[in-house]
Structure 1
Amino acid sequence: MIKKYNENLFTGISMWRKRIALALILFSPCSLALGAEEVPINNECVILLHGLARTSRSMVSMEESLLSSGYRVINLDYPSRKFKIEKLADAAVSAALSECQEYSPRKVHFVTHSLGGILVRQYLSKRQIANLGRVVMLSPPNGGSEVVDKMKAVPGFFWLNGPAGQQLGTSAASIPRRLGRVGFELGVIAGNRSVNLILSLMITGEDDGKVSIENAKVEGMVDFLVLPHSHPFIMRATEVIRQTKYFLQHGAFQR
């Protein structure tokens, strides 16, 4: 199901209230402190793609913040547990783009969590988006996950994660490894905190409980940032959201 959201922050408010609300946003201490990234964007659309076995609800904090900054937002629900990555990418990204293009946006950006990033890579490996802007991936298994290597044959894993979950290992045959270098403007944010120490024992090096820092990287990305958050919650963290918006505007994370 595609969810359409009203991009007009001030719908239903009288003209004088609109002016007061706009002044509060533009001149609040928060906006002044964060600087240019809080200025409303001129007709740019952001597609949000949640992770495996999650829903669009997991991306609501990101959605609300992007809307408040003036972006048009498509927060997409897609059946991540029902199909393989190839089919999910074709159907989900195509549907989201169709919704987005109704606004004739100047740019189309993507913000993804986990599997959502692999769907964007899969889609762009076969097709082009003429007005593609920037992409931010949060905790993406760009090099796969050792958790899949060790757990995919365990009873219940397929039921919980579906066919796409089986494709996210670290072998050369896995979808993330086969996709290779990215050819678009990409920033990656990885986490280095875990709320699942058992899964972390299966992963080499620092990790977020599902994906190692090293396997979040991909050749061709333009910036990479590690923040102290775990895989299930990284997309809701205030600093992650702020850095995401900064990258969408500037093509780099703020140091």
Structure 2
Amino acid sequence: MKESVILLHGMGRSRLSMALLAARLRKQGFATLNVGYPSTRQTIERLSDKYLAPAIAKCKAKGAERIHLVTHSLGGIISRYYLQGHRLPKGSRIVMLSPPNKGSEVTDAMKSRWLYQVMLGPAGQVLGTDDDSLPNRLKTVEEEVGIITGDRSSDPWFEKLFPGANDGKVSVERSQLDEMVDFLVVNTGHTFIMNSMAVMKQVVYFLQHGSFDRDKKIKA
């Protein structure tokens, strides 16, 4: 069976941030499409339509029978938005790394500041924790979703914004989805979680088996 993996980086990053993970997936036999997109210049709706939708169409055109998604941070919200009106091929799976699935306290604190608005653009304005934020308005995803997040802050200057464990940008609690089929917390920060060898192994395992490997000792 031909399986493809689409990788989506996070806010303010580029496809280079997912390059090591893409290489690991190719080594395990997956075809990969590492998508770059202007995360700070367009809305989540536009990013989904202009970048993720064509990537999925490209994989289908190449004969992929399963199309998995592996995302970091904002990439997970873009994927969830796409899946509001679409489905992936049967058997496709999704791994989200540090997604702000229920919003981020950082957005709550910073979105009114001019510099934050300029640097992070329209997508950065809608990732708050309130009930009306875009992530909190999205419906359930029907595909199998596994989520990995960190509990070591990579941005200690934001530490006071969080009531509990967090990775510097997203709290452990707010990374989760009710419909997720598996969940892991690793001792790493938000920015480089995708480069952790333990995380890369768990991404591969979830795509192959639909769960994380509980027999391995997880070390970031």
1:71 aligns with 2:19: no
Aligned to 2:127: 168
Where does 1:208-227 land on structure 2 (aligned, <5 Å)?
A: 208-227=167-186
Kindly indicate whether residue 197 of structure 2 is the aligned counterpart of residue 238 of structure 1. yes
CA contact (8 A) 2:65 2:89 kept: no
Deviations 1:104-132 (A, max 9, x none): 11200000000000011000011223346
Would the aligned equivalents of 2:72 and 2:96 in 1 still touch at CA under 8 Å?
yes
SS at match of 2:18: helix
Q: Give the whole-Å Cα distance in 1 for the aligned partners of 2:144 and 2:90.
A: 12
The counterpart of 1:124, out of the listed 65, 83, 104, is: 83
> 1:50: which partner in 2?
9
Distance 1:195 1:232 in 2: 7
| CA separation of 1:244 and 1:197: change in aligned 2, threshold 3 A | same
Q: CA RMSD in A?
A: 1.1
> For the residues of structure 2 that align with 1:131 and 1:76, how far apart are their CA atoms?
22
- Counterpart of 1:134? 93
Structure 1 residue 100 displacement after superposition: 1.3
> Is contact 1:158–1:165 with CA below 8 Å preserved after alignment?
yes
Q: What aligned pairs does 1:7-18 form with structure 2 within 5 A after superposition?
A: none
Is the CA contact (8 Å cut-off) linking 1:180 and 1:219 kept in structure 2? Answer: no
Tell me the amino acid that sits aligned with residue 124 of structure 1.
L
Which whole-Å CA distance do the structure 1 matches of 2:88 and 2:207 have between them?
16
- 1:98, CA displacement in angstroms? 2.3
Which residue of structure 2 aligns with residue 7 of structure 1? none
In 2, the alpha carbon distance for the partners of 1:157 and 1:180 equals: 28
Instruction: Give CA-to-partner distance per residue, 1:17-53, whole Å, 9 cap, x none.
Output: xxxxxxxxxxxxxxxxxxxxxxxxx410000000011
| AA partner of residue 25 (structure 2) | L
Report Cα offsets for 1:197-232 as digits up to 9, x if no partner: 111211121000000000000111000000011000
Unaligned runs of 5+ in 1: 1-41
What TM-score do you get using the length of structure 2 for normalisation? 0.94
How many equivalent pairs are there? 214
Where structure 2 has 5 or more consecutive residues not aligned to the other structure, the ranges are 215-220
Structure 1 residues 91 and 131, CA gap change in structure 2 (3 angstroms): farther
SS at match of 2:121: helix
- 1:203 corresponding residue in structure 2: 162
Question: Quick one: distance in 1 between partners of 2:163 and 2:46?
Answer: 30
Matched residues in 2 for 1:90 and 1:127: separation?
11
Distance 1:156 1:135 in 2: 33
Q: Once the two structures are aligned, what percentage of the paired residues are identical? A: 44
Question: CA separation in 1, counterparts of 2:164 and 2:95?
Answer: 23
Specify the structure having the higher radius of gyration (Cα).
Answer: 1
Structure 2 Cα separation of the partners of residues 95 and 201 of structure 1: 40
